[in-house]
Amino acid sequence: MGPLPDGRDSPSGHDVALIEDEQLRQLVALDPDGSLTLVEQILAEFDANLGERFAQLATASVEGDADALGRVAHALRGGCLQFGMVRAASYCATLEEHAKRGETSGCGELVGMVTSAVTESVQLIPARLQAIREAPAK
Amino acid sequence: MEPGAQISPATARDEAAGKHLPLRVVIAEDEAAIATLLTLSLESAGYVVTSTSDGEAALAKILETLPDVVLLDMMMPKMDGTEVVRRMKETPATSSIAIIMLTARSDDSDVWDGWASGVNYYLTKPFDLEAVVRCVGEVASMSRDAPISEEEDGR
């Protein structure tokens, strides 16, 4: 689990892998012709909404809006999980826990970690998809 | 699902109570990329899919089209999945439509709340796409086999 705003129980989020390939494999399978056309389209769709999600998280954190913080973190976590972005998903889960308890002070740093982890994952996924596509079948 | 594998349309339809009419599915999911992922998977299996991005739009589309199966995200803008289920259950025309709840939640109490409200099946993100397709066929089969009440018969 990620860090808490008040500094309690703050193990490194790097304990969790950035990306897990298992979810990416089923995305690769969406394109039976061996291209990555559909998966690239879907990831572009995910990417297109990220700016708005990040802005919503930042605003909710600054304004101390626990409901909005929890709702957006939850929505983002679902997408991250489905696309194998497990570290970002774990940060989102931590944000949700804080929001559920009404704790928003100090969440700004965690919002930054979510943003960085998602951004880094989105940048790395195309190469991972390519590697999975080119890997010999087991 | 293995790379290159495709879900057979015939298999999906045959699993739906042996009927050969394409099953109609309404998806309610506010993450557009996940909605697209589900739509592509279900359409490749022969389902007719309508996608919506919030609870109010989903309920309107459900009432308009009376689909065989509804895939509902738990947390959505405007109206959450639990409220959509409640309204479907209190409306005779939609009360027997099969419902699969999609969620990233992991809290057991949320799962129990979903079952208690009349959800037929619960899938937790990240979901396996093949399992979603199979699940849609199975709950539709159960729904179609269920006896139809006089109130619902006007569907």
Task: Give the distance from residue B146's alpha carbon to the nearest chain A alpha carbon, in angstroms.
Answer: 32
Tell the residue number behind the tokens 């992922």, with chain if given. B37
Number of H-type helices and E-type strands within chain B: 6, 5
**Is the model's pTM score more than 0.90?**
no
**Which residues in A lie closer than 8 A to residue B33 (C-beta atoms)?**
42-43, 45-46, 49, 79, 82-83
Amino acid at A108: G
Encoded tokens for B96: 């027997």
Residue A129 with chain B: CB contacts under 8 Å: none
pLDDT-based confidence at residue B144 (cuts at 50, 70, 90) = low
The CA–CA distances, whole Å, from A103 to A1, A38, A60, B11, B110 equal: 16, 39, 12, 49, 21
pLDDT higher than 90, residue A7: no
Check whether A86 has a pLDDT greater than 70.
yes
Q: Looking up tokens 């909404």, which residue turns up?
A: A49
List all residues 6 or more positions away from B7 whose beta carbon is below 8 Å from its beta carbon: B1, B41, B44, B45, B130, B133
Instruction: Indicate yes or no: CB of A82 within 8 angstroms of CB of B6.
Output: no
Per-residue pLDDT reduced to its tens digit, B19-31: 567 899 999 998 9
Q: How many CB pairs under 8 A join A and B?
A: 74
SS (H, E, C) chain B: CCCCCCCCHHHHHHHCCCCCCCCEEEEECCCHHHHHHHHHHHHHCCCEEEEECCHHHHHHHHHHHCCCEEEEECCCCCCCHHHHHHHHHCCCCCCCCEEEEEECCCCHHHHHHHHHCCCCEEEECCCCHHHHHHHHHHHHHHHHHCCCCCCHHHC
Chain B residue with minimum CA distance to A86: B126
Structure tokens at B95: 């009360």
Residue B8 has pLDDT above 50, yes or no: no
The tens digit of pLDDT for each residue in A12-46 reads 455 678 999 988 998 888 887 878 888 999 999 99
d(CA A54, CA A60): 10
